[in-house]
Homo-oligomer: A and B are copies of this chain.
Amino acid sequence: MKLSNKGRYAVMALADLAKFNTNKPISLRDISLRQGISLLYLEQIFLKLKKNKIVVSARGMNGGYNLNKDASEIKISEVLNAVDEKVKTIGCTKDSKKGCNGKSVKCITHNLWDELELHINDFFNKKNLGDLIKGRNENTI
């Protein structure tokens, strides 16, 4: 059970964006250099963030990205969903026909995974980008 780089990078990049936030757009090149994330990979990630209205883009020279709303209003869950980093714990309902269907007939562990999923999503729903900025100190990069 692990978190993917894509999800991690998305949050890192947005935190960077929130930290250096000005009225001017910030280029992916800058974020790439500061956070050590491949530029090409960042491009892919930011397309999704843009589609999900988490960032707004400015094209051309001096272009880049800005947050679409205040950092404190961007939940981590929102970010992870945007880059398709969903929390999935249950696989038992996939081959529906026989066995656990999650409704009338449940496997003995079904509720456990359900609870776990809620537990994790709850965590991501309670944290926002603003929290990350607030919590940092002088050793934070």
Asked whether A119 lies within 8 Å of B123 as measured between CB atoms, the reply is yes
Which candidate, A10-18, A42-50, A52-60, A61-69, is the interface stretch facing chain B? A10-18
Q: Which residues of B are found within 8 Å of A7, using beta-carbon distances?
A: 1
A86-B135 contact, Cβ under 8 Å, with A109-B11, A112-B76: no
Asked whether B141 lies within 8 Å of A88 as measured between CB atoms, the reply is no
Residue picked from A16, A108, A131, A132, most chain B C-beta under 10 Å: A108
Q: Which residues of A contact B (CB under 8 A)?
A: 1-5, 7-8, 11-12, 15-16, 19, 35-36, 76, 80, 85-92, 98-100, 104-109, 111-113, 115-116, 119-120, 123, 127, 131-133, 135-136, 139-141
